Amino acid sequence: MRDLQDRHNTTMLFISHDLRVVQFMCDEIGVMYLGEIVEQGPRERIYGAPAHPYTQALLASAPGKGGGRRARLQGEIPSAHAVPSGCAFRTRCPYAFDRCVSEKPAMRDVGGGQKGACHLLDRAAVAA
Ligand code: SF4
């Protein structure tokens, strides 16, 4: 597939749960939780400086990655038929606070082409 991409100078959409394959295959990455993209950006940014707690936990739980460096995922993923209010990740997020229950986080620019949907990335609110 990498050869085909290079040979035909084309774009492909690649979906996988295997983070090592994604890292090898993809230049741009979108991380999904309960059917919505919670973080997106260039491979180097996503793997080198993940901004969203879900991405951080995914990378920490990957074989050979993290080793407890970042928060690990707790609990079960909620049903897609009963998505939690506010931030859909709040029932498993170690950093959840009041605002996460009532308000769905907007996708915010983190820099370097990276974006994340988390209230902790709302610099204006965090600084206030
Ligand atoms: S918005 Fe809140 S619950 Fe959602 S990822 Fe950020 S801190 Fe966690």
Burial of 6 (0-12, 13-18, 19+ CB in 10 A): exposed
pLDDT of residue 109: 96
Give the up-direction half-sphere exposure of residue 44: CA atoms within 13 A in the CB hemisphere: 3
| Separation of alpha carbons 49 and 77, rounded Å | 24
- Ligand 1 nearest-atom number relative to CA 38: 5
Kindly state if the Cβ of 119 falls inside 6 Å of ligand 1: yes
What's the gap in Å between 95 CA and the centre of ligand 1? 6
Contact call for residues 23 and 72 (beta carbons, < 8 A): no
What's the gap in Å between 118 CA and the centre of ligand 1? 5
CB count within 10 Å of CB 119 equals 21
Residues written for the chain: 128
What's the gap in Å between 104 CA and the centre of ligand 1? 9
| Separation of alpha carbons 11 and 4, rounded Å | 10
Query: Which residue has the CA at smallest separation from atom 6 of ligand 1?
Result: 118
Per-residue pLDDT of the chain (128 residues; tens, 9 = 90+): 889 988 999 999 999 999 999 999 999 999 999 999 999 999 999 999 999 999 999 998 887 655 445 556 778 889 999 999 999 999 999 999 999 999 999 999 999 999 999 999 997 766 66
Query: Which residue has the CA at smallest separation from atom 5 of ligand 1?
Result: 118
Q: Which architecture, in CATH terms, is 2-127? A: 3-Layer(aba) Sandwich (3.40)
